Structure 1
Amino acid sequence: MVCPRGFSVVFLSALLHTVAPWGAHPPERPRQCDAPKTQSDMNSFLWRVNRAPPHPPSYLFGTIHVPYTRVWDFIPDRSKQAFRNSRNVFFELDLTDPLTISKLTSCQLLPHGENLQTLLPRDLYRRLKHHLDYVKHMMPYWMTADQRGRGLYADYLFNAIAGNWERKRPVWVMLMVNSLTEWDVRSRGTPVLDLFLAQEAERMRKTTGAVERVEEQCHPLNGLNFSQTVCLALGGVVGLGL
């Protein structure tokens, strides 16, 4: 992260982007925080790492995997200025790299061609399939006019989120199901904060990189034993009232 002629910024973020800030029973729309009255009232989520002169400081900035439009107005100017001044920007993962996305997709799949239907209890599998059929049916009604204007179609959007779900590991299916709410579907097409900043960094011709490998993200969850993953998947399904 050493940058002799400018700042360095490392963006750290939580893996589980589907955690809802409003608790186990979210309303149709997430509650909005009261808008800070002044810049000084904002929590910057920015930490500065001072180094001996002539080296400039480095920064750590905490992010969250939600559409950037939900939080951008609550990020104070000093955090945005640190980003603008940085020559090097390092993210959790490089979400602009197609290889990263491909590896993330592959790591979620069950090994040896296994299928969820043979792993999950019959009743749980039936409820899960019923719910996903319901979501697919509702997708055209949940989409916004803006999404349609940008050329997004309901079937495409559903497949982008839930495609090949029967081949995914239970823990990843749980995370997927938690993101298949009307509110989240309406946000699809808007980059999450991490991706938005990565795109901005590329646009500004900054040097970018990643501090983690895909394997470091996937292996902890994929390392859960069968009973743990089934319980987590069951909790996700029950939490949605399936």
Structure 2
Amino acid sequence: TLLCFSPLQQSELNSFLWTIKRDPPSYFFGTIHVPYTRVWDFIPENSKKAFQHSHIVYFELDLTDPYTISALTSCQLLPQGENLQDVLPRDIYRRLKRHLEYVKLMMPSWMTPDQRGKGLYADYLFNAIAGNWERKRPVWVMLMVNSLTEVDIKSRGVPVLDLYLAQEAERLRKQTGAVEKVEEQCHPLNGLNFSQVPNFINATLPPHERITAQEIDTYFRQELIYKRNERMGRRVKDLLEEYPDKSFFFAFGAGHFMGNNTVIDVLRREGYEVEHTPSGQPIN
């Protein structure tokens, strides 16, 4: 609903900016993993100013670093010699294969004229996203399938918000960095054993109280996010102490600032004053 109307003024915009009170101030900014063009007009001016004025920009991962991308790719693969066929139930594997054949067939009709003009022809795009799927771990194939929709394909080629900010930071010659290593983000996900999840639901709950997969997903995410928040918070604290005269802009997924045990809570426990910065409030 947020994107259905054009906001009349800054004060109506949702703010995902927090100020870490010190001199100079530093900032937390909650990003979202969607094409930046979908949300850019709804980001308050003071958030953009905080980004422009900061000396150093930090992300979860350094998405502009080729090593990061190759490490992510290899982390998603099954152990040597294993194929998806070996680890998935036969009927699920067949459905998946059929679904991917359908997507490949539909891809040309999903692409925009602009994409075709840029030479992003369908086969190339399909292979870029889904190539090598039979070597990937189930959790990554699941994430891949979720992003193989017409809407997602149409916005291919537009960087997601966090990548856009990383590219802007480079363009503005800002110092950049990351608070996590690929392994720290990837291994917890690889540790999720999806084959056990349905058993866990069926075994422990009477039929009238079946928990949806969504809630289980949330439970796991909390498990993963809490641990990561602790680690990210500690690294933020170390950076602030190491560079007391620099203004940092920490752009992390918005989920790290929501709910309990957030990165903000970690910093506050360490004695830092962190306050939410509503849209319309000027940046010092």
Q: Same fold (TM over 0.5)?
A: yes
Q: Which residue of 2 aligns with 1:47?
A: 18
Query: What is the match of residue 129 of structure 1?
Result: 97
- CA distances 1:194-229 after superposition (whole Å, capped 9, x unpaired): 111111100000000011110111011101125247
Is 1:85 aligned to 2:53, yes or no? yes
**CA shift at 1:86, angstroms?**
1.0
Is 1:195 matched up with 2:163?
Answer: yes
Contact 2:139/2:194 (<8 A) preserved: no
- Which of the two has higher C-alpha Rg? 2
Give the Cα–Cα distance (whole angstroms) in 2 for the partners of residues 176 and 229 of structure 1: 19
Q: Which has the higher helix share?
A: 2
Q: Find out whether 1:207 has 2:175 as its counterpart.
A: yes
Partner-residue secondary structure (3-state), 2:164:
helix
Q: Does 1:38 align with 2:13?
A: no
* Residue 282 of structure 2: aligned partner: none
Shift of 1:35: 2.7
Q: CA RMSD, aligned part only?
A: 1.8
Conserved? CA contact 2:61–2:181, under 8 Å:
yes
- Check conservation: 2:18, 2:28, Cα contact below 8 A: yes
Paired positions, count: 201
| 1:146 and 2:117 correspond | no
Kindly state the Cα deviation for residue 50 of structure 1 after the two structures are TM-superposed. 0.3
Deviation at 1:112, TM superposition (A): 2.1
Deviates most, 32-41 or 184-193: 32-41
Please tell me whether the aligned partners of residues 91 and 210 of structure 1 are also in contact (alpha carbons under 8 angstroms). Answer: yes
**Range 204-213 or range 36-45, more displaced:** 36-45
Whether contact under 8 Å (1:170, 1:229) holds in the other structure is no
Distance 1:179 1:228, change over 3 A: farther
Post-superposition shift, 1:34?
A: 2.8
The residue that corresponds to 1:13 in the other structure is none
Partner of 2:27: 59
- Aligned residues with identical type, % of pairs: 77
Task: Give yes or no for contact 1:94–1:209 (8 Å, CA) kept in 2.
Answer: yes
Give the C-alpha shift of residue 230 in structure 1: 8.0
Structure 2 residue identity aligned to 1:37:
L
Which of 74, 84, 94 pairs up with 1:116? Answer: 84
Greater RCO structure (CA 8 Å; 6+ sep): 2
Does residue 1:166 correspond to 2:134, yes or no?
yes
- Residue 26 of structure 1 corresponds to none
Deviations along 1:154-205, one digit per CA (max 9) or x if unpaired, are 1111011111000000011000000000000000000000111111100000
1:110-165 residue CA offsets vs partner (Å, 9 max, x unmatched): 01220011111111100000000000011111000011111211111101111100
Query: Contact 2:60 / 2:179 at 8 angstroms: preserved in 1?
Result: yes
Structure 1: 5+ residue stretches without partners: 1-21, 23-30, 237-242
Distance change >3 Å, CA 66–CA 226, structure 1 → 2: closer
Note the residue ranges of structure 2 that are not aligned, 5 or more in a row: 200-212, 215-284
* Residue identity matched to 2:115: Q
**Cα shift at 1:32:** 3.4
Q: How does 1:3-22 map to 2 (within 5 A)?
A: none
Query: Structure 2 length as normaliser, TM-score?
Result: 0.68
SS of residue in 1 equivalent to 2:3: coil
Please give the alpha-carbon distance, in whole angstroms, between the structure 1 residues aligned to 2:79 and 2:59: 29
Poorly superposed stretches of 4+, deviation over 6 Å: none
